Amino acid sequence: MTSAPAFDQTIPGTASEEVEFISLSHLNPSTELNPIRTRGIDLNYFRTYVRSLEEGGFDYTLLPYGSSTADSFVVASAVGQLTERIKPIVALRPNTTFPLVAAQKLATLDQLTEGRAVVHLISGGNDAEQARQGDYLPKDRRYRRTSEYIDLLRRAWTEPAPFSHEGEFYQFDDFGPGFAPHGSPIPISIGGQSEEAFRIGGEKADIFSFWGEPLDDLRGEIERVHAIARAAGRTTVPRIWVTFRPIIAQTDELAWQKAHSYVAKISETFSKSAFGKQRHQQGAPENVGSQRALSFAEKAELYDRALWTRTAAVTNAAGASTALVGSPETVAAAILDYIDRGASLVSIRGYDTLADAVDYGRHVLPLVHQELAHRKATGRRGTLQAEHLGNYAEDYRRYATAGQA
C-alpha cells in the first residue's frame, strides 16, 4: 500500500484554481465491453449522448479522428447544432487538410457555435495509419509540419491583409484576409508525448494533453512542458489536460467488482479482434503516450489513490486506457489530486459510455466543483481528499485484489 500523503487544509502551490471537464463523444453504442459490428452513426444515440454531456455539466467534447472513423469536423458541426454550451474539440491531423482550409473550417465552426470551437492537433502516432491516407513523413518531420501548421492557422485567423508563404511544408501566394473566428482566437491543443510533441506544445500550444499517469510522473511532465514554454519566452504556459477512464459504483468495493468484470470483458473483446480499434494496435505501439502507459502497467497495477493500469495492459494501451476506480467520492478526490498537480482540463470517459457519462455528471463533477468552490471561498482545502483515501487505505487494496490469483 502507498502511504497516505498529508491531506491537510493547505492548497498546494501547484494547484489549479479552476477545472473544466471534457468527454469524448461516441457516435453509436459500441464499446469495448459490448462491441457491435458497426462503423456507422446511430443518430438517436449520438443526440442523446451529446445532450447528456451538456446536461451533465461537461464543458467540452472531443471528436476523435482516424482514417476509418467519421470525419471529426462534420461531427463537431453537428455537436454545435445539437447543443448550446458544450465546446466541440476537433481532433485534426495536419496531413488531411491544407492549413488555410483547416483555418477556414475551424473559423466557420467557431462562428456557427458562437465561439465554442477548439482544435486538437494530432501529428500521427503510427506510420502505417498515416500511410493509409497518403502521409509518408517520419514522425519527427510530422511534428515539424505541425509546428508550421500552427503558425499558419493563427496567421490565417488574425492577419488583416493578404500574405504569401514559403515554408518547409507549405507554400501559397496572396492569401487573405481569411475567414475570422467568432471572437478570440481558437484554442490549439497538442496530443502526443514524444520529445517533439513537448517542444512544439511547450513553444506554441494553448493546451497540452496527457493520458492518465501516476501523479509524480505527470507533475514531472507538466514541469517539462512549462519549462519549454518559459524558455521560449512565453508569458502564459499551456493549460494541462489529463484523461482517464473512471470505473465508479456506489462504494469502493462495488466499483472494484465492476472493474474486475469489466477488465475480463475488455480483454476478451481485444483478444477476439472484434473491436474496430484492434487494427491499429498490434505489436508495440509507436507513440510515446501508449509506451508510457504500458511501462506504468508493467511496473504496477495500482498507483496513488485510485489509478489502475490493468485496462491499459489488456488493450495494449490503445488510446486513453488508464482507469480511476472507486466510489464517486474516491474518484473525485483522485481527480482533485491531479488538479493539485496543475491539471485544469480533466477528460473522463467510461467503459459503459452513455451510462457513465450520466453518472459522472450526477455524481463526480458536482463533488469536484464543490471542493473548488469551497477553496475559492475559504482559501483552504475541504475534507474530501482526507476522507476518501482509496488506495492509501487498507480495505481498498483488499477490494482491488479480491478474486485475483
Which chain residues interact with ligand FMN by CB under 6 A?
64-66, 91, 122-125, 191-194, 197, 209-211, 243, 287-289
Residue 306 · residue 326 · CB < 8 Å: yes
Q: How far is the CB of 370 from ligand FMN (least distance, A)?
A: 26
**One-letter identity of residue 391:** N
- Cβ proximity to ligand FMN: between 72 and 330 the closer is 72
Length of the chain, in residues: 405
- The x, y and z cell numbers of residue 331, run together, are 474518484
Residue nearest to ligand FMN (CB): 125
Numbers of helices and strands, H then E, in the chain: 15, 14
Q: How far is the CB of 192 from ligand FMN (least distance, A)?
A: 3
Q: How far is the CB of 1 from ligand FMN (least distance, A)?
A: 30
∠250-2-223 over CA atoms, to 5°?
100
Q: Look at the block and give the residue holding cell 465546446.
A: 87
- Cβ proximity to ligand FMN: between 76 and 336 the closer is 76
- Cβ proximity to ligand FMN: between 221 and 252 the closer is 221
Q: How far is the CB of 3 from ligand FMN (least distance, A)?
A: 30
- Cβ proximity to ligand FMN: between 59 and 252 the closer is 59
Q: Look at the block and give the residue holding cell 459522472.
A: 360
- Cβ proximity to ligand FMN: between 200 and 389 the closer is 200
DSSP state of 391: G
The 3-state DSSP class for residue 196 equals helix
Q: Is 147 exposed, middle or buried (0-12, 13-18, 19+ CB in 10 A)?
A: buried
Which letter, b or e, does each residue of 278-312 get, where b requires 16 or more Cβ atoms within 10 Å of its Cβ? bebbeeebbbbbbbbbbebbeeebbbbbbbbbbbb
- Cβ proximity to ligand FMN: between 321 and 385 the closer is 321
- Cβ proximity to ligand FMN: between 124 and 246 the closer is 124
- The x, y and z cell numbers of residue 7, run together, are 491531506
- The x, y and z cell numbers of residue 3, run together, are 502511504
Q: What is the DSSP string of 58-77?
A: --EEEE---TTS--HHHHHH
